[in-house]
Chains A and B, each alone.
Chain A
């Protein structure tokens, strides 16, 4: 189909068109049974943006549809909307540039059939069945195993035409442990780009251990102590907060507390926004406006260095775009085409330290090793949070002595990063419950408020 012709016919000179075709296959488990086999689940979405100008004013209108036959109508709507919101801001669609290569697809998932999820489900269930004879007993109560194949085409009036095919794999599993009348659970959820990254052999031993340990869990006491955040918790703590204050848009709106060259964190903290990390979850050759994704230094040895820019705020602040114009992802991967493009971090990459996790734990007199919060969802602006402990260990004199559940950990992310006493020597590609992507090690924070009985 000649999309340029459709825009021309509607009298739209400046535009972009984002097309996302998605195919999902999924198996959901109830106990050891397959509750449902879903697939194919297929969707297509077209989102067009039209730009209109009047003097110094520009207006952007956005409209979406899920049927190519409605595209012409969709373009007319976007054009109409673009005349309604003329504002004194600059905008132009990016022109084509050469992007860097980054790995974002798994050949096993790309086959696009249901075989991959069904084979995975069999392997998972067989590994879990072997656990039913152990004490305390571990059983799955439910699970989701899902693959995504996403094909994106982005074209615009500046001659840009970019395509990519990417994959995701998702697993969610609730492992219940029972011993007498006592019950406990470990409920992990994880995205990756490949199946290989989360095979049952890689993840199950730790998940089963965490589930089993939880049967002895108690609530912590109320006091300030050292808390080691696991990589997933680091993702949920830092991406929404550091990511928010590092946006050029927030500097423009006076909502960022960061200033270039200010000391904002402990000297041991270095963070990059890495849009080009192989198989990280928001890696891509180009962002959702067509600008090349990059690696941008945010915090270097505790000093804030650079803001992140989407196309609009780069133009309005006389900066270069850093490839951070993204559509919201999260749980709505299949529908993300319809979301607005906003400034957003890609994958925050936190430079590993020198300590092993064991060493980090051994240096703690009184503290907690966090494995999972119920939902760490900090206030992006104030950066404060208070979240229930779902799975954690109490550390006494360098050893994990007691399993913890219940009670809360509270703090302010931007205060906590000034109080980092250790960073582990390994990084993990993680997805959190609030933030979609991070490449993070374990981080040890001092003087954190813990609340319990």
Chain B
């Protein structure tokens, strides 16, 4: 009897055959996402087991793409959709021919130490309750503690007209804590978030008491935190913020679909100095345990490590099949979808600054008045103009070479190339974080980012 995967491969091949010879290229992708999410605070406890599954068909002809998606895993429906794609008339002026890629055969289940599927739900719920308990009673000013646990298993099966036939299963696990501190009408929250393309070991290796105490103390510290100064100052960013700058402010301009749209501030800067010589930026979908890692991208290209900037010089854009063909370069395995319901876009995976050789003390020491931004909260891209919007959840004032007063959330603004060119110190300890990235305000995919501490000579900051 055929396995479930074999049945899906058969469906995808069948759908592709309907398009064979009638289009220049086709691919078919099966997507199944099963997850477990548990959230708990002082009042609520929510446990859910969401799942989605479906197929996306794509065709390429005369320079244009067509696609259709369905949850109906039946040959009759797939045939109808495939024929619809074949019949659809669409021509573009930009008649790019897709470069052929070497077909791949792969069937990889990304290994984790402990599969979340092997852990009972009771045990997962117990651990979430234990972590909650570890934080809830530490201080009277902690009025609520939110714990979020999530594991997901994404299975993608992919076939295309070049003969690729691939399957991957990627497991991701994430654990987060947010203690809410209140004093009179002042309410502050900090967070801690752990995870990666890991299994349940994320939870088992977490020392609940240590994480709870550290995060609670950080939330309480925010009650005393002052509003940050506004204006231009020397700035130090921690690994989370460095990762956010690498990803949000810089990386989105490197996505070659933006170059194709003539919407990137980095178009025309390939081979040029775009950052300080101390700066090397990498995007790697092969990073071990990286939250944004995968085996192959959603166009069947095996994962790669891509050096984007080496010693300040821009080396490459991130590409998919189409942009690599148009720009006559290699694809970087960067085509990703949120689910079978969404479009393929050029996306980052795990984006980070390489480590340097300085300690935090050495970075802080020469600054008379400045700020340290810690714990990235959110950011927004500006691919055309290279503007920055990166916000940290807290910070510290630097006075005469020392970190002093805690500060509430701080936003960093300005021009990303000016900021990158003014990096004059790079820390030696590399750390990674977990996150979710949207293209604009849609199409969310899991990503990792990180870096060491970075010192920026001058940047615009402001607090709320």
Contacts and interface: CB of A to CB of B under 8 A. Distances in A.
A60 B63 CA distance: 51
A330 B144 CA distance: 26
B71 A42 contact: yes
Interface stretch (B1-9, B154-162, B192-200, B258-266): B258-266
Contacts of A84: 47, 121-122, 125
B387 interface: yes
A72 B407 CA distance: 52
Interface stretch (B89-97, B205-213, B291-299, B356-364): B89-97
Contact of A30 (B52, B261, B388): B261
A21 to B, nearest CB: 9
A34 B164 CA distance: 27
A3 B370 CA distance: 63
Contacts of B441: 189, 331, 375, 433
B262 A335 contact: no
B165 interface: no
Contacts of B51: 64-66, 70
Nearest to B121: A84
A451 B93 contact: no
Interface stretch (B277-285, B377-385, B422-430, B447-455): B377-385
Contact of B49 (A31, A39, A63, A66): A63
A170 B94 CA distance: 26
A55 to B, nearest CB: 17
A390 interface: yes
Contacts of B81: 40
A66 B385 contact: no
Interface in A237-262: 249, 252-255, 257
A69 to B, nearest CB: 10
B156 to A, nearest CB: 16
A449 B460 CA distance: 14
Interface residues of B, number: 84
B237 to A, nearest CB: 15
B14 to A, nearest CB: 18
A31 B389 contact: no
Interface in B55-70: 63-70
B460 A452 contact: yes
B231 A141 contact: no
B53 A66 contact: yes
Interface in A62-119: 62-67, 70, 74, 77-78, 80-81, 84-85, 87, 89
B218 interface: no
A26 to B, nearest CB: 8
Interface residues on A, range: 35 or more
B413 A62 contact: no
Nearest to B40: A85
Given A412-B464, A453-B232, A253 B414 contact: no
Given A34-B64, A386-B391, A406-B413, A41 B460 contact: no
B187 interface: yes
B88 A405 contact: no
A26 B151 CA distance: 31
B343 interface: yes
A255 to B, nearest CB: 6
B411 A62 contact: no
A81 B49 CA distance: 9
A410 B464 contact: yes
A185 B264 CA distance: 11
A408 B384 CA distance: 18
A38 B440 contact: no
A382 B41 CA distance: 18
Interface string B9-49: 00000000000000000000000000000010111111111
A387 interface: yes
Contacts of A183: 265, 384-385
A355 interface: no
A318 to B, nearest CB: 16
A176 B409 contact: no
A254 B384 contact: no
B463 interface: yes
B90 A405 contact: no
Nearest to B444: A331
A33 B94 contact: yes
Contacts of A255: 143-144, 180, 182, 187
A385 B377 CA distance: 11
Given A30-B260, A255-B143, A449-B462, A37 B46 contact: no
Nearest to A63: B49
Contacts of A30: 92, 94, 257, 260-261
B401 interface: no
B304 to A, nearest CB: 24
Given A31-B262, A410-B462, A254 B143 contact: yes
- Most chain A CB within 10 A, of B39, B143, B379, B463, is at B463
Nearest to B93: A33
B302 interface: no
B450 to A, nearest CB: 22
Contacts of A453: 232, 460
A31 B70 CA distance: 28
A267 interface: no
Contact of A66 (B44, B52, B65, B438): B52
Nearest to A41: B69
Contact of A451 (B54, B343, B462): B462
Contacts of A201: none
Contacts of B440: 172, 187, 189
B231 A379 contact: no
Contact of B464 (A41, A47, A384): A384
A38 B90 CA distance: 12
20 contacts: A33-B64, A34-B90, A35-B65, A37-B88, A38-B66, A38-B68, A39-B68, A43-B341, A66-B52, A81-B47, A84-B47, A84-B122, A89-B43, A222-B230, A331-B444, A374-B389, A407-B413, A408-B460, A412-B464, A449-B230
Interface of A: 24, 26, 28, 30-45, 47, 60-67, 70, 74, 77-78, 80-81, 84-85, 87, 89, 139, 141-142, 172, 174, 176, 183-185, 187, 189, 222, 249, 252-255, 257, 331, 334-335, 338, 340, 374-375, 377-379, 381-382, 384-388, 390, 405-408, 410-412, 433, 449, 451-453
Q: Which 3 residue pairs spanning A and B have beta carbons closest together? A: A384-B464, A386-B411, A375-B380
Given A77-B49, A338-B48, A390-B382, 6 more contacts: A34-B64, A63-B48, A66-B54, A374-B382, A381-B188, A453-B232
